[in-house]
Amino acid sequence: MNLGRSTFKLFLMQSGRSLILFFAVIYFARQLGASELGSLFLFQALIGLLSIPADLGVRGALEKRLSEGEDPDRMLGSALFLKAILYACVAAVVLAARPFVNAYIGADLAIVLILALATFELSDLFVQTLRGELRVGETAGVMFTQRLLWVSIGAVAVSLGYGVMAIAVALAVSGLVTAVWGYTKCRTRIGRPAIGPIRSLVRYAKFHAISSTGGRVYQWMDVAIIGFFLTQQFVSVYEVSWQVTLLVLLVSKSIGWTIFPQVSQWDADGNQDEIEWVVSKGISFGLLFSVPALVGGTIFAPELLGFLFGPEYAIGAAVLAILLVEKLVQSVDDIIESTLRGIDRPDLAAIATLVTVGVNLVLNPVLVLTVGFVGAAIATTVAGIVSAALHSYYLSRLITIEFPYRIAGWYVASSALMGAILLGVQSIVPVTNTAVLFAMIGFGMVLYGIFVISISTVRNDVVVPAVRALI
């Protein structure tokens, strides 16, 4: 597997998916209003949180075992068997609690929720099957199509006067289509479940279930808590701010997805030097984008939310700035956590996740009740810092982590200079509309690009290797 090309394919896919969702959220925000959009976000939050008990680490365990070449057909069949049992239990609970679920969401979506959960779990399972086959780059088309199909159907439905129900149904349909397509791309077939493969999956999944929970909790727990204590309008403002910050993680997420199966193979072959090299390079690439995004996003936070989504969303400027700090930390944690799992230590990742989730669950309701929805951003950021610190500590006990301090310092210096110039220009040319906003963002990107390319260390250690990896 070519790590550079696979990462680039996933980066392009992630960029496309993120931009599609970004513009879709802008459209939905302007068409539906904050309250109705809040119902959609709560629907998605429940899918994300319910996927935890509906999976319990099985997908990650399947990817790990397939990357090791262990009885692939029976592994996939056994994974489906385990997931069918888990999903049936979750679906039964949601069905029994249907009135409460509908009241929480603010719309009659419990049945659609059950269907969407099933299609998304299948789609994700086959995507991770492809990753386990070391065909990470080929997952790009499947994941991109899922997002494009959902947004396209949802946008058409909204333009015809339909509301959240139609968007939720479109989400379920997109999952079903990509589940079928994903399976047709897999070389592994669905074999008969067997005790041996089931035990092998469970051995890994029992720890991975805990570590994988962290991502779901980060993404959706704060939204769920805001929806419980505050109004749906605050849910919309917070989630819109969150979606903007997700653009920062395009590179680190792509790297994390790509290196996991490769690190797993290197670990099985005893190639520790390769693992240490890819960790250092991965962090260098991830920080390249997250550092300037923090500076620029903080400067233009009110304009980004107010001009793009509507004046009522500008109150989320502080949330956006705080979450950009969290994304800066996560751009490093994505690489560290994927490596820790790849070297077959899901138990350590699980410990880190237990502590992190505990911090998040304690801080979120306390801070939401005391300082409002800004408190959710603070809680999530603190939890993110704890997660990165613990994952780094555990990984450093197993391999040597060479953090690229010098390169990171140049990123900080270049971003600070970029920010100073942007503030100076903004004092002369105020940002009064969307066109000026995008012009300022583009100007900042050009400035930062010039600054970092002019630095020989960054150019030789980051830019040139990236270009060579793609050739």
Please indicate, yes or no, whether residues 240 and 382 belong to a single structural domain of this protein. yes
Please indicate, yes or no, whether residues 439 and 321 belong to a single structural domain of this protein. no
Contact predicate 379/360, CB 8 Å = yes
Please indicate, yes or no, whether residues 294 and 309 belong to a single structural domain of this protein. yes
269-307 core/surface letters (b: 16 or more CB in 10 A; e: else): eeeeebbbebbbbbbbbbbbbbbbbbbbbbbbbbbbbbb
pLDDT of residue 378: 93
pLDDT tens-digit series, residues 274-287: 777 777 878 888 78
Please indicate, yes or no, whether residues 409 and 396 belong to a single structural domain of this protein. no
151: tokens are: 């947004």
Please indicate, yes or no, whether residues 294 and 170 belong to a single structural domain of this protein. yes
Please indicate, yes or no, whether residues 249 and 305 belong to a single structural domain of this protein. yes
pLDDT of residue 88: 94
Residue 251 has pLDDT above 70, yes or no: no
pLDDT of residue 465: 60
* Length of the chain as a residue count: 471
pLDDT band for position 443 (cuts 50, 70, 90): very high
- How far apart, in whole angstroms, are the C-alpha atoms of residue 384 and residue 393? 14
pLDDT of residue 282: 80
Among 121-125, 133-137, 444-448, which range has the highest average pLDDT?
A: 444-448
Residue type, 384: G
User: pLDDT higher for 387 or 258?
Assistant: 387
Please indicate, yes or no, whether residues 425 and 396 belong to a single structural domain of this protein. no
143: tokens are: 């994941």
Please indicate, yes or no, whether residues 262 and 139 belong to a single structural domain of this protein. yes
Instruction: Give the chain's mean pLDDT.
Output: 82
Percent of the chain past pLDDT 90, that is, above it, reads 18
pLDDT of residue 41: 84
User: pLDDT higher for 359 or 257?
Assistant: 359
Pick from 354, 385, 403: which residue ends a domain? 403
pLDDT (average), residues 420-432: 90
Please indicate, yes or no, whether residues 131 and 59 belong to a single structural domain of this protein. yes
pLDDT of residue 5: 56
pLDDT of residue 93: 94
The least confident of 66-80, 200-214, 443-457 is 200-214
Residue 160 has pLDDT above 90, yes or no: no
Contact predicate 16/146, CB 8 Å = no
Please indicate, yes or no, whether residues 322 and 425 belong to a single structural domain of this protein. no
337: tokens are: 């956590």
Residue 404 has pLDDT above 80, yes or no: yes
User: pLDDT higher for 170 or 456?
Assistant: 170
Q: For 400, list phi and psi in degrees, rounded to 5.
A: -90, 120
Domain containing 437 equals: 404-471
User: How many structural domains does the chain have?
Assistant: 2
CB atoms within 10 A of CB 86: 17
User: Which pTM does this prediction carry?
Assistant: 0.74
Contacts within 8 Å (CB) and 24+ apart, 311-316: 312/34, 312/233, 312/237, 313/29, 313/34, 313/236, 313/237, 313/240, 313/241, 315/237, 316/237, 316/238, 316/240, 316/241, 316/373
Please indicate, yes or no, whether residues 322 and 370 belong to a single structural domain of this protein. yes
pLDDT of residue 323: 92
Residue 345 has pLDDT above 90, yes or no: no
Pick from 368, 403, 438: which residue ends a domain? 403
pLDDT (average), residues 194-222: 75
Residue 2 has pLDDT above 60, yes or no: no
pLDDT of residue 259: 59
Residue 270 has pLDDT above 90, yes or no: no
pLDDT band for position 183 (cuts 50, 70, 90): confident
pLDDT of residue 113: 93
Contact predicate 455/413, CB 8 Å = no
pLDDT (average), residues 244-270: 67
Contact predicate 134/8, CB 8 Å = no
Residue 26 has pLDDT above 70, yes or no: yes
Pick from 351, 376, 403: which residue ends a domain? 403
Please indicate, yes or no, whether residues 318 and 420 belong to a single structural domain of this protein. no
- Which residues are CB-neighbours of 94 under 8 A, at least 6 positions away? 50, 101, 110, 113, 114, 117
pLDDT of residue 318: 92
pLDDT tens-digit series, residues 57-106: 888 888 878 877 777 888 888 888 999 999 999 999 999 999 999 988 88
